Amino acid sequence: MSNKRSGRPREMHPEGRLRDEILRQLERVEGGAWVDRLAPAAVFSADDRRRITEYVGGITRRRRWLDFVVDSYSARAGTIDPVIRHVLRIGTYELTELQRAPHAAVFASVEQAKRLGRKGVGSFVNGVLRSMARDLDHLPEPKSGDEVVDSAILYSHPDWMARRWVERFGLDGARKLMDYNNRRPVHCLRVNTLKTTIDDFKRTLDELEVAWTESPYLPEFLRVTKLQPVLAAGLLRSGVAAVQDESAGLISRVLRPKPGEFIIDACAAPGGKLVHAGILMKNRGRLVGVDVNEKRLDSGLAVAHRHGLSIVEALVADLRSLAPTDSLPVADAVLLDAPCSGLGVLSRRPDLRWRRTEASLVETTVFQDQLLDAAARFVKPGGRLVYATCTIEPDENELRVDAFLERHPEFQLDSVSGDLPPSVEAGGCMVTLPHVHEIDGAFAARLVRG
C-alpha cells in the first residue's frame, strides 16, 4: 500500500503499519486461517503483536454485531467491498468495543482506506464512522421480530447456535453463554508437582508480581492475570508449569490415573492431558500417546520431556486401524478426548463459531462413535474408558455415551461422584458450562469394562 502526496512518497506512521497488519491478518482469517495460530510479523514489538492479536480475535468474535452496526450507517450495506468492510470493522470495533477517542479511530480508518488507493473510499469510510461516532450512546438495536435472531446479532453468534441454547438454557441463559464467549479468556497455569510445590510456585508468581487466584476446582491450577512475566521467566519453557484450562484438568481427574498403570491417550495431540496424566502417575508406569498428527504429537512428547516425564511414548496412528498387540496391549485406562465441534471453547477459538454448522454435528458424531468403538478394544476387563470432549452439545456428549452403552453392554457408566467438586457433576458425568462454571465447556464420562 503506497502513500503519496505532492508526488513524493511519505513514510507510513507506525500506527498505519500496525493497522495494515491487522487488516492482513483479518483477510487471512477470512481465507481459512485459524486465529489462535496466526503470528504477526516479527518486525513488530511484543506489545504491538499482542495488540494485533487482541484486535484480530476481538473483531472475529464480534464480527456479526460489527457488521450490523456498519450496515445500519451505510447506504451500500450489501455491496461493501470485503477489504473496505475489514477497515470499517476495525474502526467500529475501536469505537464500540474499545471506546477509543472517536477522532483518532475515524482518522486512522480513513487514512487506511486512502492507502488502498480506491477513489472515494476515504470519504465513504469517513461518513459511515462519523455518523456512528455521533450515536455511540444510542446505537441501533436489532429488531427483526425474532428475539432469538436479535440476540444472535447482538451477541455475535450464528442463529442456529443461539436457537439451540435458548431451547436448553432459556433466553437469559443463552445470552449469558454468548456473552461469556465474547470475553477474553482467563489464563490458567497448571503447576508441575514433579518439579516444584504449589506453594513454591505461588511464591515465584509473587516475586514476578503476577497476581494469581486459586482454582475453585483443582489445587494444582492457578488463575493469573498476565502471562508475559511467566513466559519471560522461562517457567513454561522449563516445564515448571503449563497453560491449561481447568476443564482439561478435571478430565484428567476423571481418568483417575495411578502410579504404575499402563494408560493410553487415544487422541493425544497436542499433549496437555497426556502430560497431566503422567504427573498424576508420579512418572511411574507406562503412558502411550496415540494420534494421527505426527508433528503435533512430537510437540506434545517434547513438552512431556520438559516436564521431566520419562514414561511417555508416542505412536503415530489412526486408532480405528489398530488392534491390541504386544507393542500396544490392552490398558488399565484409555482416554479418548475426541475431536468435536469445540462449542465449549468459543471464547478461546473466536473463528470457530463461524466455521461450524448444525449439519456438521451429525458428521462429527459418526466419527466419535467410530473412535469410541476403537478405544473400547484397548480396555482390559475392569479397566476404564474415559470419553471426553470440549463441547457442550448433548449430541456429542451424553447421547454418544448412551449409544455406546447400547452397543457395548460389557461397559457400565462409573459415576464421577466423589472424584470432582459436586458443582461440575451431572448424571454421573463431568459437565462444565462456561456461563455457569466460568471455565471452558467440557464433558467427560468414565466407563468401566466388566
Residue 331's pLDDT is 97
**More confident position, 197 or 34:** 197
Whether residue 6 has pLDDT greater than 60: no
Cα torsion 46, 49, 51, 55 to 10°: value is: -170
Residue 118's pLDDT is 77
Taking residue 331's Cβ as centre, other Cβ atoms within 10 Å add up to 24
pLDDT interval class at 1 (50, 70, 90) = very low
Whether residue 312 has pLDDT greater than 80: yes
Tell me the pLDDT tens digit for each residue of 343-391.
Answer: 999 999 999 999 999 999 989 999 999 999 999 999 999 999 999 999 9
Grid coordinates of 337: 478426548
pLDDT interval class at 14 (50, 70, 90) = confident
Residue 11's pLDDT is 53
CATH superfamily assigned to domain 187-243 = Sun protein; domain 3 (3.30.70.1170)
The stretch 62-77 carries a mean pLDDT of 93
pLDDT interval class at 98 (50, 70, 90) = very high
Grid coordinates of 107: 482518522
pLDDT interval class at 117 (50, 70, 90) = confident
Cβ distance 115 to 16 under 8 Å? yes
The stretch 415-424 carries a mean pLDDT of 95
Grid coordinates of 174: 443463552
The stretch 151-156 carries a mean pLDDT of 98
pLDDT interval class at 97 (50, 70, 90) = very high
The top-level CATH class assigned to 4-138 is mainly alpha
Which position among 188, 267, 340, 390 bears the catalytic label? 390
Query: Is domain 246-449 in CATH 3.30.1130.10, yes or no?
Result: no
Task: Encode burial over 161-187: b for 16+ CB neighbours within 10 A, e otherwise.
Answer: bbbbbbeebeeeebbbbbebbbeebbb
Q: Is 340 a catalytic residue?
A: no
**More confident position, 375 or 47:** 375
Give the C-alpha separation, 345 to 36, whole Å.
Answer: 12
Whether residue 191 has pLDDT greater than 90: yes
What rounded mean pLDDT belongs to the chain?
Answer: 94
Boundaries of every domain in the chain:
4-138, 147-181, 187-243, 246-449
Tell me the pLDDT tens digit for each residue of 268-299.
Answer: 999 999 999 999 999 999 999 999 999 999 99
Helix (H) or strand (E) segment spanning residue 181? helix 159-181
Residue 157's pLDDT is 98
This prediction has a pTM of: 0.92
Helix (H) or strand (E) segment spanning residue 312? strand 312-316
Grid coordinates of 259: 502410579
